[in-house]
Structures are given as structure tokens and as C-alpha cells.
Structure 1
Amino acid sequence: LYVEKEKNIKLSSGDTIVVSNTIRNLLPTRIIQAYKEYCKECDEEFKPLSDTCLFEILHCCTASNRKSLQGLDYFACDGSNAFDMLTHLCDELTTHDVTTSKIIELKKGLHESRNCLKNNYKLHVEFNSEVADHCIKYGLSDPRDLFWKEDCNHSHSMECDQCLLLKNTLIELRATIDSCSMTKEMKLRYLHRFDQNAQLIW
């Protein structure tokens, strides 16, 4: 959910209240799926409401759906565009002796990683986590600045398969570009495009 300004709601009593104008960037089905996964992670014995009730709650909530993040969240928008650019870059590599199976593999990795960041990643983030990519304290700590540095009281010895998929896909895509049969100048342009977009994601 995002909050974009405020709006006035008039009650049956005649009073007017000001509420945040929330905007959903996920479909109701995805929201319910994420909610159920969150409930399962927190307490496997907890039984959430039925899908019918959850859909009704979302229907009654004062929020609007928004398909485009333009003008709302430029950070997420840049990341989304970067995935599009890398996918397009994969298609271009077919003209440089890269096999179709390799292109399909890379595009599948990008697609699954994109869905993970959009839907599931937020459910795995915790203030303290043994997975470095999920640990808020570790992610926000700046080792170069004493005022913004905070050490974790746990080790980051675990890894997330979904986060590893993104890392490995980006590494594999860069290696594929580097091994392509093309001129040095063209390869540098491709690598520059890759690095630029990978930085927006990572």
C-alpha cells in the first residue's frame, strides 16, 4: 500500500473526517495470498478468514488500485523498468550466438526474481534475521558512519533461495554478455547497459 495525499469522507451524521488516500499496487488475489503466507509464517495453527471475507474486506477498504508507479514511487518504478531493460537485452543477445535455451533461462530468472521482489520479499524482511538480505538492522547499518552503525547480535549464516536466484541470474547474464562474440566496443556498451540497470535493481 502507498499513501497519496488525503481525502474527505462524509459520514451519515453529517460529520466529515479526513483519511489517507491509500493506493494498492497489488491485485486483491495477490494481497490475500501474501496475507495467508504471512499468517502461516507467524503461526501455522492460525486460521485466517475465508477468501470470500477477505475479498469483501478489500472491497470495502477505501483504497484504489494503481497499475503504474509513475509519479508515486520512483524507486520501485526504476527497478521495474530495469527488469524490462534487462529482459530486452536478453532478447538482443540472440543475434550474438547465444542459444535460445540460455535466453529462456535468463528471462525466467529475471521474471521470477521480479515477482519475488514485488510480492514475497516484504514478507521475509525482519528487524533481525540470519539472512543478510532480509535483515533490516544489517541493511540500514552504515559501517563507515559511527552514528549509523549498529552490529547485529546474530550471524548471517543463512541464505534465501529466491534472493540467490536474482544474484545468480545477474551474474550469469553478465558472464553471458562477456562471452558473446561481438566487437570490444559493442561488448562494452552491453556491459554498461547491464551494470546501469542491475544497479537500479540491486
Structure 2
Amino acid sequence: MSLPVIAIIISSASAAFTLSNWLTSVATYRRGGPRLKVKAKIGPPPNVYDLYHSGKPDDWRAAWHVHVANRSSARVEVEKVEALPWAPHLPFTPFGRVLTRLIVENPALGPMTKVTWLDGEDRKKIEPFDGVRWILSEEISRVRMDTFVGRFSIMSLRVTLNNGQEVFSTTFRTNYVASKHDEVHSHISRLAEEERKTELERTGQLTFEDIFSEAGE
């Protein structure tokens, strides 16, 4: 075998070995770097009776129940959580990101992307292969869209880590979120009406209108 051929074989083997080491390093980095999974569902808030007794019907809204799982060997720390509306079917495209940035930076809508922590604000640091649960409320869904646009618009939570990495939650149609808020509002309204009637019965002040309304239910 000639020397040039031997040199080519040695060079090829060296290149393959270098590539193998590089791929191993990349795999190790990806395995060790932050990898988060954010799941969310919308349901009743944890403080239904507190909301009712607060006397503020505008606050009778559903809450976001969030589970964040850290699937890596690196400890992560959450810097902030936001609720974002998305353009129809464009959340992960360059145009969708630009539109979202314009919304967040809008003086009128920007503050509405912030969330209120109902539970879990003290659990922003997530250990390796561990998870945390949060309960949040948001304001951005108060901006009701017309029937056509709302039918195709979606929204989700954006979790930003202290290293700048962004992770997005499950997405929901805007109209679905609004319907969940309406369900909670209706439920608390029924509680308020039942308590009012109970109090009137106790004090003997139940009117004929109340009696007839109960008979018609």
C-alpha cells in the first residue's frame, strides 16, 4: 500500500474520530442543558369562596393550572411568566413572533400580558428531573374578540428562564378561555343568589317574586 493511500486512510479516520467526539459533546450538552415541558389547563380558581365574598364580580374568573417539568440534569430558574395572544395559526413563525412583540410592547396591551400568582410564586427554581405546579390568573383574555376572529385566535403562557430561554405552554383557543371564565362567573353568581335567598328565608324577608322564581326553576 502506497504512502499517499495510508495518509488518506489516517486522515479520514482522524476526521471521523473528531466528528464522533463533536457529536458526543453536542449530545452531552443537550442532555445537560435546560429542557422544560409546560402543560396548562383552565379550571376553577382555588379561592372561589374568597372571590365571592370579595364582592368584586369582575374578579370571578377561571385560573390557569400549570405543571412545569424539568427534564434535564440542570437546575433552572424562572424569571417571568406571561400570557400571550397569538395571531391565527402563526405563533411560531417569524411573522407571528414579530406580531407578538408588537402586542407585548403596546402601551395598552403590554401590561395585560402579566400574570397574577395565586399559588406557586415561591417555586420558580426547579431542580433536575423535578417539577412544580403553579396556579395563575391573567388579564389578556379580558380583551374579547369578535366571533369570527376569536374562533381562530389562540393564546398560551410563555415561561422565560433567567438564561433567556423561552418555553411555551399548551395553547388554547381564545373563545375557549373566555367560556371558562364565563363558567366560573356563572357558578359564583349562583352561589351568591343561593346565599341571598337563604339569608332572606332566615330573616323572613323572602318576597313573592323570589318564591315564584324558585317554583319556575
TM-score between both structures, scaled by the size of structure 2 = 0.24
More strand by share: 2
Structure index of larger Rg: 2
More helix by share: 1
TM-score between both structures, scaled by the size of structure 1 = 0.25
